[in-house]
Amino acid sequence: MTDSPIRCTIDLDAPGKQIGRLQVPRSSNTSGWSSLFVPIVSVARGEGPSALVIGGVHGDEPEGQVAALNLARDLRPDQVTGRVTVIPCLSPDASRAYTRLWPSGANLNRSFPGRPDGPADEQLAHFLSTELFPRADVVVDIHSGGRTALCLPWSEMHWVEDADQRRRMVEGMLAWNTDWCCVYIDVAGTGLLVGEAERQGKTVISTELGGGGHVTAEIHRLAASGLANVLRHEGVLAGEPITRAALGKPDPTLLMATDVDDYVLAPETGLFETLVSLGQHVDPGQPVGRIHFLERPERPPEVVGASNGGIVCVIRAIASTSQGDNVVVTARVAERSELD
């Protein structure tokens, strides 16, 4: 029995296709007794694995929301063995505002595992942690760089200690068929959705599909094809998974952004000028950008150097920059065997 205040309007264990919502209680200036509606779709048939697909943890990342909406609308029970549960957008108010964070200022991706008597974001996180993750074998959480950052499109994972879980996550990450795959660390706080799902032993697959405030048709196709292939790979969606080799593509490049100094932070506030391109190799200390000072035209720009060498995999997308903002991420190229 859950102690969650959230009402779910579908039966999370029933067969067939159901479309409903999670209702998060709220009380606002315009409605004292209301709820935030978070749509949820469940498609189930027979015995098999259970996958949870999530888009829109951050509101300014439409790639996953569009892919998840398309999946949720099109998916039929006869295509499923097991269960696919889809939440196309976990942060609807942020999506409507096209902002990374909730209007309340909450970052849902720092709210996990949540608590039933916390603010709305923590209540929602708690419902996922106690009701949805335990029912899932596979958790897919689709992100991008949003408006703030442009990422090489990649599928990604944390390093997890359990070798069997790590193997499942590596295989799931590779099944997205992106040109790049990335192992990353959390450098800006705890409480991530994927962290709680990993703690529960799930096969957790995530992405950073571009970003920069613009989604190309190619990225939308990569979101849709990767998501479907991951679900086929996990055995929950009908059809044989497609390999990169079958597509005539080489193995993906595996990146390790696992050193805190891979995440280059702005030393001063100003207007950021990038000097590098995504996918470019840089040497340690090589200038990756410059920060200009609008109020001081006589002052030379501050040169920002890479700490570690490697491949440039993230570039800041908003030129206006505050001290401490991440401007570039570099990563070293790794061998697949490092993840064994």
Give the residue with the Cβ less far from Zn ion, 75 or 156. 156
* Cα dihedral 87→126→131→140 (10° resolution): 40
Which stretches within the chain are classed as H helix? 62-74, 92-97, 120-127, 163-174, 193-199, 217-233
Neighbours of 21 (CB within 10 A): 19
Radius of gyration of the chain (CA): 20
- Report the nearest approach of Zn ion to the CB of residue 143 (Å): 3
- Report the nearest approach of Zn ion to the CB of residue 183 (Å): 17
* Subset of residues 224 to 263 that bind Zn ion, contact rule: CB under 5 A: none
Cα three-residue angle 50-193-141, rounded to 5 degrees: 55
- Report the nearest approach of Zn ion to the CB of residue 272 (Å): 20
- Report the nearest approach of Zn ion to the CB of residue 130 (Å): 23
Give the residue with the Cβ less far from Zn ion, 172 or 210. 210
Give the residue with the Cβ less far from Zn ion, 50 or 109. 109
**Cβ-proximal residues to 88 (8 Å cutoff; 6+ apart), any chain:** 39, 41, 55, 56, 65, 68, 69, 72
Part in contact with Zn ion (CB under 5 A); list of ranges 61-69, 127-135, 232-240, 324-332: 61-69
Give the residue with the Cβ less far from Zn ion, 58 or 316. 58
CA–chain centroid gap for 167, Å, is: 20
- Report the nearest approach of Zn ion to the CB of residue 210 (Å): 12
Cα–Cα distance for residue pair 318/271, rounded to 1 Å: 9
- Report the nearest approach of Zn ion to the CB of residue 83 (Å): 25
Q: Does 83 bind Zn ion (CB under 5 A)?
A: no
Q: Does 58 bind Zn ion (CB under 5 A)?
A: yes
Give the residue with the Cβ less far from Zn ion, 58 or 126. 58
The first and second tokens of residue 21, run together, are 């919502």
* Subset of residues 132 to 161 that bind Zn ion, contact rule: CB under 5 A: 143
The first and second tokens of residue 125, run together, are 């996180």
- Report the nearest approach of Zn ion to the CB of residue 329 (Å): 14
Give the residue with the Cβ less far from Zn ion, 144 or 177. 144
Cα–Cα distance for residue pair 40/182, rounded to 1 Å: 29
Are residues 168 and 139 in contact, defined by beta-carbon separation less than 8 angstroms?
no
Give the residue with the Cβ less far from Zn ion, 149 or 230. 149
Residue ranges that bind Zn ion, judged by CB under 5 A:
58, 61, 143
